[in-house]
């Protein structure tokens, strides 16, 4: 890309950067430069030619992967073998019979690996896939029979073995299979009725989930004002938790960081046996159903999930990218998303009117950004040439604004990750005070994809929003989190929320990313939440007043206020001037002391200024977790040292930080975690409670951050055997989750439901 920019004539660069000429004319000039310039031509070749990339199917790569996988399997490194076979499947095509048989072998080898990893359902699935490719592949039938036997599906196992018998030609082989069938018959006859009534609770797969009762969506209306352009408002009074929007994306794309961990269509976490695209080596899907939807074919195979396809035509969003060219893997995500939108709008016959209404802020972009958009647009126009009958420069001009629109309107799809997928919930079943495996539950979200929603993107930003957005696969749901009066605007937070980012950081972020200055109610005047982000203790010991920390300086406040905060801050309670700089230094000093008290490498991470606290604590908690997992004889001793250290740290923080400072909530939360690792859940409860009290002041009682902390408290109380406290907190978590995620939230958070079950059981036990 840099080479391309360097090849451009300076006059054209200036013309684009100044923005004085029309986008159409600069695009025409740039497109013409691309068609004559050698550097540009080479770049396009690299992006479009499948032969020049590693994104095309390639038998040799696939066979190399198989060899590496077999070697790993031989060494019993099953995880590595699994990755190798999956990579091999990515590169094998299904074009010829030879390739199909290679694919079947890779699938059976992967099934064998999954079998060893005890992922039996996935293993059966891979065998079935191999059989579909090559129906007379005895090894596939045999492997499936063995796995079915381990699953105690003896009838199916015997059926598979019968098939193996019919395919087996050698007498010795037939004899062996016969023996295995006889053994299976015996096992089947021994299976008692009790075995059949399996007590296993099947795991909930959110991908296959459909709500039992469709909630009704409240009426909203679009509004247009010159300042904010499009907005959305309610037509009636709404209670917290009202569903106001449910929408499938116009287009969506996975983020680069998640390409190997999440399905490229439904954005759910990939299973152990993902399926690749049949024609190129780029995407991975959780099932054939997702793959077919991405390619816009075979909707009959689709299992469930009609919710996220509601009002959605099967656009085949990957179809135009497929074939092994590298551009969709290499170019920036927002440009590739813009291409998906472009192709879809073409399929619909016109650039959708709804999309035309999207804001793009093109005029406000910097010259550098304008140039980048131009280059990307011309590249994309060349790439998409084959699909559209239009002239390249015409398409490029549309794409410049389309990419700008994507940047201004795309939303991040977040996926909720389970607290620790490796720890089965059954470990939580017994309130074992003695065990040190108390799992701390929390709500963690991962950004997995970028998507454009036509209606949802009409909602404007507020730093203290009244709407919360959540995702079920690709489908967006928006719910009110406060009472909203009829006619009032419905607003979401575009990123920085009150209580999470400082006033001026919020403003800077929004200006940089969305080109506007926020004038929401939380930005008009300094708020309680802003003050508490870093609130220092008053120097008068008896005073409980808040001393605003060094970061609070809203432009709307008086000049005098702004002058004082830099060195000194006034206690808002008694008016005493507190030397902020000294207080910060004192805090750092006391942490240095900690460092000296023990030379262990654990302690240096504690040293840091208040701004980077989160990071320090995060590192530290990571170290603690590893430490607690080590079952070395000295582990217990180390934990004691850590507990002492962390309590000392808490004391230092309490000296300088106000008792309602959010920074203190973080420290209290951390202390609770360390106490839990050190097997002192009873002591952890009060620290966790203090953290909750602070968070309720910084945010509100119903904020999701409070629910998260209360969920932690629930698991701590459970570990401490305090079922009453656990149930009380889980009740509050339940209320907050219903508001944010709706009545069916437990499908997204299955561990909350499991915890509820466990607690109900021990609760009734306590009563008896």
* 479 strand-pairing partners: 243, 468
Return the number of the residue (14 or 511) whose C-beta is nearest Zn ion: 511
Question: Where does this chain touch Zn ion (CB under 5 A) — which range of 122-130, 178-186, 245-253, 279-287?
Answer: 279-287
Return the number of the residue (34 or 265) whose C-beta is nearest Zn ion: 265
- In the complex, what is the shortest distance from the CB of residue 659 to Zn ion, in angstroms, rounded to a whole number? 12
Would you count residue 56 as binding Zn ion (CB under 5 A)? no
Return the number of the residue (141 or 494) whose C-beta is nearest Zn ion: 494
Q: How far, in Å, CA of 638 to CA of 168, rounded?
A: 60
Subset of residues 87 to 146 that bind Zn ion, contact rule: CB under 5 A: none
Subset of residues 556 to 615 that bind Zn ion, contact rule: CB under 5 A: 571, 573-574, 576
- Helix spans in 474-568 (H): 503-514, 521-524, 528-533, 559-567
- In the complex, what is the shortest distance from the CB of residue 215 to Zn ion, in angstroms, rounded to a whole number? 24
Return the number of the residue (266 or 373) whose C-beta is nearest Zn ion: 266
Q: How far, in Å, CA of 68 to CA of 52, rounded?
A: 24
Within 10 angstroms of residue 290's Cβ, the number of other Cβ atoms is 26
**Phi, then psi, of 234 in degrees rounded to 5:** -95, 150
* 480 strand-pairing partners: 467
Would you count residue 218 as binding Zn ion (CB under 5 A)? no
CA 218 to chain centre: 28
Question: 390: phi > 0 → left, psi -120 to 50 → alpha, else beta; which?
Answer: beta
- Helix spans in 19-153 (H): 23-36, 38-48, 59-74, 78-91, 97-116, 120-133, 138-150
Question: Where does this chain touch Zn ion (CB under 5 A) — which range of 107-115, 325-333, 373-381, 456-464?
Answer: 456-464
Would you count residue 545 as binding Zn ion (CB under 5 A)? yes
Closest Cα to residue 138, out of 175, 108, 168, 115? 168
- In the complex, what is the shortest distance from the CB of residue 294 to Zn ion, in angstroms, rounded to a whole number? 8
Return the number of the residue (571 or 652) whose C-beta is nearest Zn ion: 571
- In the complex, what is the shortest distance from the CB of residue 91 to Zn ion, in angstroms, rounded to a whole number? 12
Would you count residue 280 as binding Zn ion (CB under 5 A)? yes
Question: Where does this chain touch Zn ion (CB under 5 A) — which range of 19-27, 215-223, 264-272, 635-643?
Answer: 264-272
Contact letters for Zn ion, residues 288-317 (x by CB under 5 A): --x---------------------------
Return the number of the residue (320 or 627) whose C-beta is nearest Zn ion: 320
Q: What is the dihedral of CA 508, 509, 511, 513, to 10 degrees?
A: 160
Work out which of 104, 181, 322, 373 binds Zn ion, going by CB under 5 A. Answer: 322
3-state secondary structure of 596: helix
Work out which of 30, 251, 258, 266 binds Zn ion, going by CB under 5 A. Answer: 266
3-state secondary structure of 115: helix
**Residue 297 CA: distances (Å) to CA of 277, 292, 324:** 12, 5, 19
Work out which of 279, 382, 460, 621 binds Zn ion, going by CB under 5 A. Answer: 279
Question: Where does this chain touch Zn ion (CB under 5 A) — which range of 73-81, 121-129, 450-458, 543-551?
Answer: 543-551
Return the number of the residue (247 or 317) whose C-beta is nearest Zn ion: 317
Would you count residue 277 as binding Zn ion (CB under 5 A)? yes
Would you count residue 531 as binding Zn ion (CB under 5 A)? no
Structure tokens at 3: 């080479």
Return the number of the residue (13 or 523) whose C-beta is nearest Zn ion: 523
Return the number of the residue (265 or 610) whose C-beta is nearest Zn ion: 265
- In the complex, what is the shortest distance from the CB of residue 323 to Zn ion, in angstroms, rounded to a whole number? 7
Asked if 269 contacts 287 with a C-beta cutoff of 8 angstroms, the reply is no
- In the complex, what is the shortest distance from the CB of residue 78 to Zn ion, in angstroms, rounded to a whole number? 24
Work out which of 251, 406, 448, 463 binds Zn ion, going by CB under 5 A. Answer: 463
Would you count residue 523 as binding Zn ion (CB under 5 A)? yes
Would you count residue 472 as binding Zn ion (CB under 5 A)? no
Would you count residue 538 as binding Zn ion (CB under 5 A)? yes
How many chain residues interact with Zn ion (CB under 5 A)? Answer: 22
Q: How far, in Å, CA of 499 to CA of 513, rounded?
A: 19
Would you count residue 739 as binding Zn ion (CB under 5 A)? no
Q: How far, in Å, CA of 109 to CA of 102, rounded?
A: 11
Closest Cα to residue 440, out of 670, 664, 739? 670
Subset of residues 481 to 520 that bind Zn ion, contact rule: CB under 5 A: 518, 520
**Residue 214 CA: distances (Å) to CA of 347, 654, 726:** 30, 49, 31
- In the complex, what is the shortest distance from the CB of residue 550 to Zn ion, in angstroms, rounded to a whole number? 17
Helix 367-383, helix 23-36: angle, nearest 10: 60
Would you count residue 727 as binding Zn ion (CB under 5 A)? no
Would you count residue 286 as binding Zn ion (CB under 5 A)? yes
Would you count residue 50 as binding Zn ion (CB under 5 A)? no
- In the complex, what is the shortest distance from the CB of residue 270 to Zn ion, in angstroms, rounded to a whole number? 8
Give residues with Cβ within 8 angstroms of 87, minimum separation 6: 65
Return the number of the residue (119 or 571) whose C-beta is nearest Zn ion: 571
Structure tokens at 6: 């360097």
Would you count residue 688 as binding Zn ion (CB under 5 A)? no
Would you count residue 667 as binding Zn ion (CB under 5 A)? no
Give residues with Cβ within 8 angstroms of 634, minimum separation 6: none
Q: How far, in Å, CA of 623 to CA of 83, rounded?
A: 28
Q: How far, in Å, CA of 650 to CA of 666, rounded?
A: 10
Q: How far, in Å, CA of 281 to CA of 87, rounded?
A: 9
- In the complex, what is the shortest distance from the CB of residue 254 to Zn ion, in angstroms, rounded to a whole number? 10
Return the number of the residue (507 or 723) whose C-beta is nearest Zn ion: 507
Within 10 angstroms of residue 701's Cβ, the number of other Cβ atoms is 12
Return the number of the residue (289 or 684) whose C-beta is nearest Zn ion: 289
Question: Where does this chain touch Zn ion (CB under 5 A) — which range of 172-180, 278-286, 306-314, 407-415?
Answer: 278-286
Give residues with Cβ within 8 angstroms of 423, minimum separation 6: 437, 439
Asked if 711 contacts 718 with a C-beta cutoff of 8 angstroms, the reply is no
Residues in touch with Zn ion (CB under 5 A): 263, 265-266, 277, 279-280, 286, 290, 322, 463, 518, 520, 522-523, 538, 540, 543, 545, 571, 573-574, 576
């Amino acid at each position: 890309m840099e080479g391309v920019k360097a090849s451009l004539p300076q006059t054209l660069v200036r013309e684009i950067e100044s923005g004085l000429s029309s986008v159409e004319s600069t695009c025409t000039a740039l497109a013409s430069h691309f068609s004559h310039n050698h550097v540009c031509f080479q770049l396009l070749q690299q992006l479009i030619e499948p032969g020049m990339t590693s994104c095309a199917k390639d038998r040799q790569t696939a066979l190399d992967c198989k060899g590496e996988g077999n070697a790993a399997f031989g060494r019993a490194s099953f995880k590595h073998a699994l990755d190798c076979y999956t990579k091999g499947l990515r590169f094998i095509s299904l074009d010829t019979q030879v390739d199909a048989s290679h694919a079947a072998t890779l699938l059976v080898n992967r099934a064998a690996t999954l079998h060893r990893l005890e992922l039996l359902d996935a293993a059966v699935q891979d065998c079935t896939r191999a059989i579909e490719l090559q129906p007379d592949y005895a090894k596939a039938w045999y492997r499936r029979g063995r796995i079915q036997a381990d699953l105690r599906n003896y009838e199916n196992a015997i059926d598979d073995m019968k098939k193996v018998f019919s395919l087996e030609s050698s007498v010795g082989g037939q004899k062996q299979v016969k023996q295995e069938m006889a053994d299976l018959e015996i096992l089947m006859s021994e299976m008692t009725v009790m075995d059949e009534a399996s007590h296993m609770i099947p795991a909930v797969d959110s991908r296959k989930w459909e709500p039992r009762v469709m909630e009704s969506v409240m009426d909203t209306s679009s509004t247009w004002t010159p300042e904010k352009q499009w907005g959305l408002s309610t037509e009636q009074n709404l209670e917290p938790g009202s569903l106001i929007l449910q929408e499938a994306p116009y287009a969506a794309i996975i983020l680069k960081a998640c390409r190997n961990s999440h399905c490229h269509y439904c954005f759910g976490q990939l299973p152990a046996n993902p399926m690749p695209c049949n024609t190129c080596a780029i995407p991975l899907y959780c099932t054939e159903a997702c793959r077919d939807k991405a390619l816009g074919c075979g909707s009959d195979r689709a299992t469930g999930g009609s919710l996220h396809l509601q009002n959605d035509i099967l656009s085949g969003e990957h179809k135009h990218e497929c074939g092994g060219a590298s551009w969709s893997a290499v170019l920036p995500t927002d440009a590739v998303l813009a291409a998906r939108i472009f192709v879809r709008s073409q399929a619909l016959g016109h650039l959708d009117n709804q999309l035309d209404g999207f804001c793009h802020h093109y005029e406000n972009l910097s010259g550098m950004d304008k140039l980048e958009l131009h280059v990307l647009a011309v590249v994309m126009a060349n790439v998409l040439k084959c699909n559209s009958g239009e002239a390249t420069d015409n398409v490029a001009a549309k794409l410049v604004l389309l990419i700008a629109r994507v940047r201004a309107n795309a939303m991040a799809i977040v996926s909720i990750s389970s607290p620790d997928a490796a720890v089965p919930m059954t470990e939580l079943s017994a309130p074992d005070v003695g065990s040190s495996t108390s799992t701390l539950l929390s709500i963690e979200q991962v950004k997995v994809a970028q998507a454009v929603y036509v209606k949802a993107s009409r909602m404007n930003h507020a730093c203290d929003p009244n709407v919360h957005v959540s995702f079920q696969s690709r489908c967006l749901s928006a719910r009110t989190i406060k009472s909203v009066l009829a006619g009032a605007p419905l607003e979401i937070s575009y990123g920085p929320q009150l209580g999470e980012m400082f006033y001026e950081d919020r403003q800077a972020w929004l200006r940089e990313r969305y080109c506007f200055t926020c004038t929401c109610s939380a930005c008009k005047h300094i708020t309680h939440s802003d003050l508490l982000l870093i609130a220092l203790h008053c120097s008068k010991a008896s005073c409980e007043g808040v001393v605003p920390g060094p970061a609070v300086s809203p432009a709307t406040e008086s000049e005098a206020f702004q002058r004082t905060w830099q060195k000194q801050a006034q206690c808002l309670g008694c008016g005493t001037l507190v030397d902020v700089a000294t207080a910060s230094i004192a805090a750092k000093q006391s942490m240095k002391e900690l460092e000296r008290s023990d030379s262990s490498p654990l302690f240096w991470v504690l040293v840091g200024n208040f701004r980077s606290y989160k990071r320090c604590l995060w590192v530290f908690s990571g170290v603690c977790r590893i430490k607690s997992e080590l079952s070395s004889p000295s582990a217990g001793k180390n934990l004691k040292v850590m507990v002492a250290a962390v309590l000392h740290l808490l004391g230092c923080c309490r000296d300088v930080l106000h008792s309602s400072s959010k920074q203190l909530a973080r420290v209290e939360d951390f202390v609770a975690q360390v106490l839990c690792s050190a097997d002192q859940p009873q002591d952890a409860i009060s620290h966790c409670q203090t953290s909750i009290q602070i968070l309720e002041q910084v945010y509100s009682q119903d904020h999701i951050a409070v629910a998260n902390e209360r969920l932690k408290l629930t698991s701590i109380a459970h570990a401490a055997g305090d079922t009453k406290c656990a149930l009380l907190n889980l009740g509050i978590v339940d209320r907050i989750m219903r508001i944010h995620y709706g009545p069916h939230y437990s499908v997204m958070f299955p561990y909350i439901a499991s915890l509820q079950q466990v607690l109900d059981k021990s609760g009734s036990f306590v009563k008896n």
